[in-house]
Amino acid sequence: MIQFTKGQSNTLTLTLTENSTLTNPIYLFQFNNQQTNVDYYFIANDTSQYKERYNRFVIASGTNTLNAEIELGNEGFYNYYVYETNLANTSGLSNAEEAVPYIVGQVENGLVWVLPEADAIINYEPDDDTAVAYEPIEFDYLVQEDDAYILQEDGYLIQL
């Protein structure tokens, strides 16, 4: 599972080359919100120096989906799919969703957990959760007199 924080750059490290059939594909990412079933697409460049071993993508928050930017909806869980496309470049496209007809095949899928922006996370201070099992009543005094006890409480004498 990938952890993705809204409002900041996120680095995704995946192993896509082993399942790719094209030599130098352009990868199209699809995030599908599990609650709303809304799809979000973006294209990102592989920044890995060792593409045969792993693929690394830096994804920013924004609206330029052709340049590794995405503006996701609600926080929560998304299914992700990575496709290889036979595009030579992204010129002529106005957004990443227009690359869908150029998909050659799916190379990976999984789950993304989208967290809220860091400044939107609220930290709560715990309350005092001490449980009081017995708390005696405060009496002014207790005196033993002639085999009986006399108790003064709030100005009244009580013989026990």
What pLDDT score was predicted for residue 131?
73
pTM value is 0.73
Q: What tokens were used for 30?
A: 């699809």
2-118 under CATH 2.60.40.10, yes or no:
yes
Q: What tokens were used for 118?
A: 């860091």
Q: What tokens were used for 132?
A: 């009081």
What pLDDT score was predicted for residue 149?
57
Share of the chain above pLDDT 70, in %: 78
What pLDDT score was predicted for residue 134?
66
Confidence bin at 151 (pLDDT 50/70/90): low
How many CA atoms does the CB half-sphere of 22 hold within 13 Å?
A: 16
> To which residue do tokens 């299914």 refer?
79
pLDDT digits (tens, 9 = 90+) for 91-144: 999 999 999 999 999 999 999 999 988 765 566 677 777 776 766 666 555 555
Strand intervals (E) in 7-130: 10-14, 26-33, 39-44, 55-61, 69-70, 76-85, 103-115
What pLDDT score was predicted for residue 76?
93
